[in-house]
Amino acid sequence: MARRFLILVPYLWLLALFLVPFLIVLKISLSDPEISIPPYTPTLDWREGWAGFTDFLSQLDFENFIFLTEDDLYWKAYLSSLQIAGISTVLTLLVGFPIAYGMARAAPDWRPTLLMLVILPFWTSFLIRVYSWIGILANEGYLNQFLLGIGVISDPLTILNTQTAVYIGIVYTYLPFMVLPIYSALEKMDDSLLEAGEDLGCSRLSAFWLITVPLSKAGIIAGCFLVFIPTLGEFVIPSLLGGSETLMIGKVLWEEFFNNRDWPVASAVAVILLLILIIPIILFQRNEQKQREAEGQ
């Protein structure tokens, strides 16, 4: 009895507020737009019973998905989101690995403090961390003032409202997600392996490539997924830092919904975004599972 209650409460909550909403998105993505409230047809009418249901089914179609393939905007947005997410994942890895490596090498007394310093920004508002870059990257911003002041450049650089600003914003906000898994992999590494490698004639660099990198592979993979998956649907960073030049699917979905009020197309955009995400999500889960099994042994 108690066990059933324990299972049912969270189960029903998630069914009602996670799974059912999804089915609704799927349903609306197959409906026609309409100027009314809610702005789509058909609506499923339970009172008409089976006839209402077949009627509802017959009105569903793939028009919105065909529309997505016909308009350049959408597939360009998907491609550019994939590209931006991919490039920024690599950049975050390049910035994050040396930090995680340095932390794992620091004296044991220092490590908790360093760890706290990496986690602290994660607890601060995401919006504010993105916002802080507007003042830095603007044409009359702090970076340009600094560079003009020391005479490196003679004209201000245009960074804000370009893709460069989006990359900076993503690397900055998602850095802890990359550093933490890599650090936890490196911290567990047995240093005598490196000594053995060097005793056997490895140079430091090749010992790094042949020992450190493979041993931190699980952490690197986890970090890359933790950056790639959420950036793909990112909305705040491209909207605040990317300007009109940056096309990302999260922003397109938002505008389709709030500005154009086209719910069926917004839902179709969401469905395709999910289909794209399913592959990396499954790969990520598999990586986590493998790691858990490795730790269990």
Residues 214-243 close enough to bind other proteins by CB under 8 A: 229-230, 232-236, 239-240
Q: How far is the CB of 114 from other proteins (least distance, A)?
A: 7
Q: How far is the CB of 134 from other proteins (least distance, A)?
A: 5
The yes or no reply on residue 180 touching other proteins (CB under 8 A) is no
Q: How far is the CB of 71 from other proteins (least distance, A)?
A: 19
* Subset of 26-85 contacting other proteins (CB under 8 A): 28, 38
Quick one: which segment of 9-17, 57-65, 149-157, 209-217 binds other proteins (CB under 8 A)?
9-17
Nearest to 87 by CA among 214, 213, 231, 183: 231
**Per-residue binding letters, 105-144, with other proteins (x by CB under 8 A):** xxx----x-x-xxxxxx-xxxxxxx-xxxxxx-x-xxx--
State how far the Cα of 224 lies from the Cα of 212, in Å rounded to an integer.
17
Cβ within 8 Å of residue 133, ≥6 positions away:
165, 168, 169, 172, 241
Quick one: which segment of 46-54, 62-70, 214-222, 263-271 binds other proteins (CB under 8 A)?
263-271
Q: How far is the CB of 260 from other proteins (least distance, A)?
A: 14
Q: How far is the CB of 231 from other proteins (least distance, A)?
A: 9
Please identify, using beta-carbon distances, which residue of 134 and 157 lies nearer to other proteins: 134
Q: Which residue has 């690397």 as its token pair?
A: 171
Single out the residue of 103, 166, 227, 237 in contact with other proteins (rule: CB under 8 A): 103
Q: How far is the CB of 102 from other proteins (least distance, A)?
A: 4
Please identify, using beta-carbon distances, which residue of 19 and 57 lies nearer to other proteins: 19
Please identify, using beta-carbon distances, which residue of 13 and 53 lies nearer to other proteins: 13
Please identify, using beta-carbon distances, which residue of 69 and 289 lies nearer to other proteins: 289
Q: How far is the CB of 112 from other proteins (least distance, A)?
A: 8
Please identify, using beta-carbon distances, which residue of 30 and 232 lies nearer to other proteins: 232
Quick one: which segment of 46-54, 148-156, 209-217, 277-285 binds other proteins (CB under 8 A)?
277-285
Q: How far is the CB of 5 from other proteins (least distance, A)?
A: 9
Q: What is the DSSP string of the chain?
A: -HHHHHHHHHHHHHIIIIIHHHHHHHHHHTSEE-SSSSSEE----GGGHHHHHHHHHHH--SHHHHHHHHSHHHHHHHHHHHHHHHHHHHHHHHHHHHHHHHHHHS-TTTHHHHHHHHHHHHHS-HHHHHHHHHHHHSTTSHHHHHHHHTTS-SS----TTSHHHHHHHHHHHHHHHHHHHHHHHHHT--THHHHHHHHTT--HHHHIIIIIHHHTHHHHHHHHHHHHHHHHT--HHIIIIIGGG---HHHHHHHHHHTS--HHHHHHHHHHHHHHHHHHHHHHHHHHHHHHHHHH-
